[in-house]
Every structure is written in C-alpha cells, then in structure tokens.
Amino acid sequence: MEAVQTRAETYESRLAEGRTLMAANQPARAAKAFRAASNLAREKVEPLLLMAEAYRAAGNDASAILAFKEAEAAAPGDDPAIQKQMVDLYLQEGHTDEAISTLVALRDSKNLGDTELLALARLQARSGDPEGAFKSLEPIQSQRPDDPDAKTVEAEILLNKGDELLAAKLMDRLIEENPGLIDAHLLRVRYFLNSGYPEVAEQDIETITGKDAKRADVVLLHARILTKLEKHDKAAEVLTQLVEEQPDNADALGMLAEAKLNLGKNTEAQDLVEKVLHLKARSPRALYVRGRILEAQGDKRGAQENYSYALTADPRFAPALSRVWRTQQEAGEKTEALETLQKLYKLGEASLEEKVALAQMYADSGNHSERGLKIVDELLKREPGNPKYVALKAALAPAPSTVKKRFTGPIIMRGGHHR
C-alpha cells in the first residue's frame, strides 16, 4: 500500500515538474518529465497529452504525433479531442492524406462542427476528391442551402473540379451579395493569379481594406502576387510589416527570405532561412529558398536535396515542384518530369510557360491528348492565332467527330477591376 502511495506521489511530482518547466519555457525538459510521469501511470492519458503539447512547443512535431498516438491508444475508445489535435499536427507536418483520413472518420461519426466540415471539404477539394468534398458539405447545405461560407467552399470545389464557368458565376454572386466575405474574395484573387492574370489579381486584392487587409492570409497572398509581377521591393515591404507584427510567423519569414533572395540580398535571405528552420525545422518554403540559394552558388546537388526535403514536408508545395520538373527534364527523366509538371498543373499553380511545356509533353508522348487540348484551348483564349499554340493544337487534335466543346480560360467577373 505504501509503495502504491509513493508511486502516486512521484507521478504527481513529475506532472508538476513538467508544468513548471513549461511555464519556464523549457518544453524539451518538460517533455521528459511528462514521459517519466507516463511511465509511472501507463493507464493515464493526461501525461501523454501534456507531453505532446510540450513537443509541439519545442517544435518537434514528429514526436508530438507519436505522443498523441500513444494517448489515443491509452484512451477508452476513440477520443475526438485527441484525434483533432492529431489532425493539426498532421497538417503542420505536411501529412495531408492522414489528416483527411482522420477527419473523414470524425465526420462519419458526426464529431465535426461546421467549421471543421468546411476545412475538410477544402482539403478534399485541393487533394483532387470533389465528390468527397461535396459529401462533407452536405450536413451544412442540407440545413442552410445558401450558407455563404459553404457556398464559398463549393465554388472552390468547382474550380478544382474544372467547372470554372459555374465557379466564376458563384464567386461573383457571393461577393456581390456579401461584400465582407473575405474568403470568397481571396478565392477569386487566387483564381485570377493562377489563371495567369496577376495584374487583375493585384487590382482585386487591393479592394480589401481596413483590418482585413492586415490579415496574414491576405498579406501572404498579396506578396505572392507582387512576386509574380516581379515587384520584389514591394513584396519585401508588405512582408516586413507582417513580420514586425507577427515575428514568429514562419510562412511570412519564409516568403520574406524569398523576397530578399529575389532582390539579390543572399546573406539576408540565408539568415532568414535559418531563423525559419529554427522555428519550424520542416518548413517547405525555407527549404525551398535554401535550395535556390545553393543553386545560385552552383551547388545543384545540394539544391536538389533541399527541394526534395521541401516536397517531403509538403508534397504539394508548388515552387519546389516547379524547380524539380525542370531538373528531371534536363536529366532526360521524361516520365518523371511529366508526372511532376502534371501535378503542378492540377494544383492550379502552373505558369504560362509550364502549361505550354506540359501540352508539348502530351503531344510528344501521344498520350492524354484531351488534357493537352484543354490546356491549348486555354492558351489560345489568351493569344488567339499564336502559331506555336495553333501547331500544338494540330498535333494534339483527335478526329473532328471526337472533339468536345468545353469552357476554358478564366472569367473576368464583375468587381474584378473595382478600386
């Protein structure tokens, strides 16, 4: 009996020690204390959850995921709260498929609120599963068919599905009826940007004013547009303002590092990269920028390693994909280059040059002619009569009886040019 009491007291002592260390901002040491507490009471979930939080605070997300899995195994039945925390970590670590799988299980057991259902639908749409995304929206839209937030996600699903005309009309209506619906506004801005109209995207995002203009997601998208327009000084300026307000925002710091690199300030860029990697060891943006720095120094092998690390952290990270397919093509790896470029296109992140390259690959391989024609039709909408595009279309075109008319190209919607 005395031994049991001593063990219980030691357990409580270790928990208290861990909490004290967390309060003293020593999360790594706190995690060890919580582990010691867990070893003394393996049936208890609390020290495992505290250990996971300590690892998160220390920036060790991989260990945090393992701790959450231990807690999930120790908990009686499936604990939705633990699973939702695991989802956050999966997303931070770039494990999107695992996050979606966990959220789908929570959805099916009716353990997701409206905000979480919307987040799941967006993830599914961006991962190429429009049917699953629509299913996730069903509980909201069956009760509130005109819910503006759900309609915004519906527009995003339609865009990712390729139904651009329907998506464009829906975005236009949503913004007209709900001028303050910033998520719909940002979706339209991204649409313009990814469709090759950065000037229109810039005009549109500048209509967002007041406190909304200072939101991190608005500033980061604005910086992306400025980078596409090669306005690197202005990109650095808006990012610097965001970093001053949010000094630990890894995304803002990573984009600022890229802006500095684009301005030729390699030393400043390198310093920022190291700062980001200290905050977030698997930051895809920082790894990508480090790869670009190495590439500029002539270290192609080191550059490729860092692009690979960036894609390991986030397989959908478009800037790294854009670098990788070119390297694969130079190395004569045609199949790999095609797959990488195809992935970039499906993400809606391919540049005009990359769309032409992909259509040419389809023409050269003789496969996926319909996909190639869709791309070329989009290009011809921008530049009717362009001889290169006309020749590409001729190389890709099937027999006239099999050609299907389809909508291609962006729709310039009402409000797109408003100041």
pLDDT at residue 109 greater than cutoff 90: yes
* Contact status, residue 61 vs residue 282, Cβ threshold 8 Å: yes
Say which residue, 219 or 366, is predicted with more confidence: 219
Across 394-418, average pLDDT: 59
pLDDT at 401 > cutoff 80 = no
Q: Is the pLDDT of residue 98 over 60?
A: yes
pLDDT of residue 407: 52
**What is the distance between the alpha carbons of residues 282 and 304, in angstroms, rounded to a whole number?**
16
- The percentage of residues in the chain with a pLDDT greater than 90, rounded to a whole number, is 49
Q: How far is CA 298 from CA 17, 292, 302, in A?
A: 50, 10, 9
* Cα-based torsion angle of the residue sequence 39, 40, 42, 44 in order, rounded to the nearest 10 degrees: -120
pLDDT band at 62 (very low <50, low <70, confident <90, very high): confident
Query: Helix, strand, or coil here: 190?
Result: helix
| Residue 221 banded pLDDT, cuts 50, 70, 90 | very high
Tens of pLDDT, residues 114-156? 999 999 999 998 887 899 999 999 999 999 999 999 999 999 9
> Among 395, 415, 340, 410, which residue's Cα sits nearest to residue 194?
410
For the cut 60, the answer to whether the pLDDT of residue 403 exceeds it is no
Kindly tell me if the per-residue pLDDT of 415 is higher than 60. Answer: no
What are the pLDDT digits (tens) for 16-29? 898 888 878 788 99
What are the chain's domains? 1-112 (1.25.40.10), 229-314 (1.25.40.10), 351-419 (no CATH)
Residue 419, pLDDT score: 37
* Distance between CA atoms of residues 129 and 57, nearest Å: 33
Of 106-115, 135-144, 399-408, least confident by mean pLDDT is 399-408
318-334 pLDDT, tens per residue? 999 999 999 899 889 99
Q: Among residues 264, 256, 311, which one has the least CA distance to residue 288?
A: 311
* 412 pLDDT tier (thresholds 50, 70, 90): low
User: What is residue 172's predicted lDDT score, i.e. its pLDDT?
Assistant: 92
What pLDDT score was predicted for residue 417?
45
Q: What is the mean pLDDT of the chain?
A: 87
30-60 residue pLDDT tens: 999 999 998 988 878 788 878 888 887 787 8
Residue of higher predicted confidence among 305 and 414: 305
What proportion of the chain, given as a percentage, has pLDDT over 70? 92
Residue 410 predicted with pLDDT over 70: no
Check whether 101 has a pLDDT greater than 60: yes
Helices (H), 266-417: 266-279, 284-296, 300-313, 318-330, 334-346, 352-365, 369-382, 387-396
- Report whether 54 contacts 27 (CB < 8 A): yes
Length of the chain: 419
Residue 205 is predicted with a pLDDT of 96
List pLDDT tens digits, range 347-385: 767 877 888 999 999 998 888 888 888 888 878 877 888
114-123: b (≥16 Cβ within 10 Å) or e: eebbbbbbbb
